[in-house]
Structure formats: structure tokens, C-alpha cells
Amino acid sequence: MRIILTSVLVSALVLPGCGALRDSRINPANWFGKSRVEASPQTPSNPLVPTKSGFSRPETVYQGIPVQQILALKVERAAGGAVVRVTGLSSTLGAYDVRLEPVEGNSANVLEFTLKAAYSVRSRPTAPASSREVVAATFVSDIELEGVRTIRVIGADNARSVRR
């Protein structure tokens, strides 16, 4: 009985003394201290991306014109939205920088695009149709597709639409 009473008494006196070790520098959990709020640095998140300087090129306005015909329109589901892919037929050979430009001011349940392309100065009008085909695609998020029932793509001569 003496051994048990002695060990309980010793442990009752020694254990509260270990609480001081909790706040000391010997404890590895205290080596870095507590976290605190700091102001975020104004440097870019990726140091490999250069910051903008005063010597940047001015933004150019897109000079594309609508392609002659819209041959195919396909809407494919993707994560977080859909991909609208369009095949068109340009009026001449030499079309480049093909884009689907959104049309402003349409109704809430119709999403409209215009298929436009820029043409080189050296365009040749006499080319087979297979060599004048152009393809463009754009991603439309689920937020933009909310409430949309029809997607329409407009060309110079015709337009194609898809409904859901």
C-alpha cells in the first residue's frame, strides 16, 4: 500500500510541473510560434511571368469579317459548360485568325455568335471549297448557358442554330 500511495503522491506533484515545459523552447511545437495575419505582397503570384511595363504594344482591334457560309455547328458537353464548334466556308483562300464573336443585345434564351475571319492581302478567290473550310470553337460556361434554349451562329449568307 505504501508503494502505491508514494507513486500517486509523486506523480501528483511531478505532472503539474510538466506544464511549464509546454511553453518552453525545448518543445518542438513552439519552434515557429503561432500564425498571424499579414498583408499580402504586391508581387505577382508567378515570378516567371513578367510584369507589365510602359513598353507594351497597344491593343489592336480585331478586323475580321463574317465568313461566307456556316457548314456545321456542334455543341459538345464539357466539364463546367459546353464547347461550341463551328465549321465555316470562307469566301477566299487565305483566311486566318478565325473567331466566334458573341453578338450583343440578343434575347435571354438565345446565345448568338458570328463566325469571323481575317483575310490576307494575297487571297485568291478561285480555290476549291475543301481548302476554304475554317473551324473555330469557344467554351461557354454553365453560368452563361443558364436559361439558354438556342445557340445560333451567323455567317454572311446563312446561319445555323441548335436547340436543347
The percent of residues in the chain predicted with pLDDT above 90, rounded, is: 32
Closest to 91 (Cα-Cα) out of 72, 115, 62: 115
What pLDDT digit, counting tens, does each position of 2-42 carry? 888 788 877 776 666 666 666 666 766 665 556 565 665 55
Q: Which residue has the higher pLDDT, 12 or 150?
A: 150
How many residues are recorded in the chain? 164
State the pLDDT at residue 3.
87
Q: What is the mean pLDDT of residues 103-107?
A: 82
pLDDT value at 54 more than 70: no
State the pLDDT at residue 107.
79
pLDDT value at 73 more than 90: yes
Q: What is the mean pLDDT of residues 85-109?
A: 88
Cα–Cα distance for residue pair 158/116, rounded to 1 Å: 13
Per-residue burial over 124-137, b if 16 or more Cβ lie within 10 Å, else e, is eeeeeeeebbbebe
> Domain residues of the chain, as ranges?
65-163
pLDDT value at 48 more than 80: no
At 43, the pLDDT band (50, 70, 90 cuts) reads low
User: Would you say the C-alpha torsion 52, 53, 54, 58 has a positive or negative sign?
Assistant: negative
State the pLDDT at residue 16.
66
Mean pLDDT value across the chain = 81
